[in-house]
Chain A
Amino acid sequence: MNFYLANYSKGQMKIQQMAFVLVALMIFFALVSLFYFSIRVSNLEKGVVELREDEAKELVRKLAASPEFAWTATDCASCIDLDKVILLKNRKAYSGFWNLDYLAVERVYPSKQGECSKGSYPNCNSITIINKTGAFGTPAWSYVALCRHEFSKSNYVRCELGRIFAAGKGIQ
Chain B
Amino acid sequence: MNKKGLELTFAWLFAIIVGAVIIVLAIYATTSLIKTERKVQETEIGKQFGILLSPIETNLEAAKIARITFPDETRLINNCRLVGTFGAQDIGIATRSRIGEEWTEAGVPSTFYNKYMFSSETTQGREFSVFSKPFNMPFKVADLIFVWSEEYCFINPSTEILEELEALNPKNINITTSVAECSKQSKKVCFTSSGCDIDVSVSSKSVKKGKQVVYYEDSLIYGAIFADPDIYECQVKRLLKRSSELSLLYIAKSESLAPRGCSSNLESDLTTYAFETNNVTSSIEFREFYNLAKTMKEKNELLSCKLF
A117 to nearest B CB, angstroms? 13
CB atoms of A73 and B306 under 8 A apart: yes
Partner of B114, one of A11, A61, A76, A97: A97
Proximity string of chain B (27-64) to chain A, C-beta cutoff 8 Å, 1 when within and 0 when not: 00100000000001000100110110011011110000
In the bound complex, residues from chain A placing their C-beta under 8 Å from that of B306 are 72-73
Proximity string of chain A (20-51) to chain B, C-beta cutoff 8 Å, 1 when within and 0 when not: 00100100000001000000000010010001
A141 to nearest B CB, angstroms? 16
The answer to whether A84 and B112 touch (CB under 8 A), given A72-B139, A72-B140, A96-B84, is: no
B74 to nearest A CB, angstroms? 18
In the bound complex, residues from chain B placing their C-beta under 8 Å from that of A55 are 47, 50-51, 54
Partner of B57, one of A18, A62, A87, A155: A62
A57 to nearest B CB, angstroms? 9
The answer to whether A61 and B55 touch (CB under 8 A), given A88-B249, A99-B113, is: yes
* Chain B residues with a Cβ closer than 8 Å to the other chain, count: 47
CB atoms of A15 and B14 under 8 A apart: yes
Of the candidate stretches B197-205, B219-227, B254-262, the one touching chain A is: B254-262
CB atoms of A99 and B112 under 8 A apart: yes
CB atoms of A98 and B113 under 8 A apart: yes
CB atoms of B256 and A18 under 8 A apart: no
CB atoms of B262 and A15 under 8 A apart: no
A44-97 CB contacts (< 8 Å) to partner B: 44, 47, 51, 54-55, 58-59, 61-62, 64-68, 70, 72-73, 75-78, 81, 83-84, 86-88, 91, 93-94, 96-97
In the bound complex, residues from chain A placing their C-beta under 8 Å from that of B141 are 67
A72 to nearest B CB, angstroms? 5
Q: How far is the CA of A152 from the CA of B253 in the complex (A)?
A: 18
The answer to whether A66 and B11 touch (CB under 8 A), given A51-B51, A72-B308, is: no
The answer to whether A75 and B60 touch (CB under 8 A), given A51-B51, A93-B245, is: yes
CB atoms of B253 and A84 under 8 A apart: yes
In the bound complex, residues from chain B placing their C-beta under 8 Å from that of A59 are 54
CB atoms of B47 and A51 under 8 A apart: yes
Q: Interface residues, chain A, CB within 8 Å of chain B?
A: 11, 14-15, 18, 22, 25, 33, 44, 47, 51, 54-55, 58-59, 61-62, 64-68, 70, 72-73, 75-78, 81, 83-84, 86-88, 91, 93-94, 96-99, 149, 151, 155
B15 to nearest A CB, angstroms? 7
In the bound complex, residues from chain B placing their C-beta under 8 Å from that of A67 are 139-142, 246, 308
In the bound complex, residues from chain B placing their C-beta under 8 Å from that of A81 are 253
In the bound complex, residues from chain A placing their C-beta under 8 Å from that of B22 are 25
Closest to B25 in A: A29
In the bound complex, residues from chain B placing their C-beta under 8 Å from that of A84 are 249, 253
Q: How far is the CA of A146 from the CA of B157 in the complex (A)?
A: 41
Task: Kindly state whether residue B168 has any CB partner on chain A within 8 Å.
Answer: no
Closest to B22 in A: A25
Q: How far is the CA of A65 from the CA of B134 in the complex (A)?
A: 10
A89 to nearest B CB, angstroms? 11
A170 to nearest B CB, angstroms? 15
B283 to nearest A CB, angstroms? 20
Q: How far is the CA of A76 from the CA of B86 in the complex (A)?
A: 26
In the bound complex, residues from chain A placing their C-beta under 8 Å from that of B44 are 47, 51
B229-253 CB contacts (< 8 Å) to partner A: 245-246, 248-249, 252-253
What would 14 A/B residue contacts be, using CB atoms closer than 8 Å?
A: A11-B9, A15-B11, A18-B14, A33-B29, A59-B54, A62-B55, A62-B57, A68-B246, A77-B60, A87-B249, A87-B252, A93-B85, A94-B245, A155-B262
In the bound complex, residues from chain A placing their C-beta under 8 Å from that of B252 are 87
In the bound complex, residues from chain B placing their C-beta under 8 Å from that of A25 are 22
Partner of A149, one of B11, B55, B305: B305
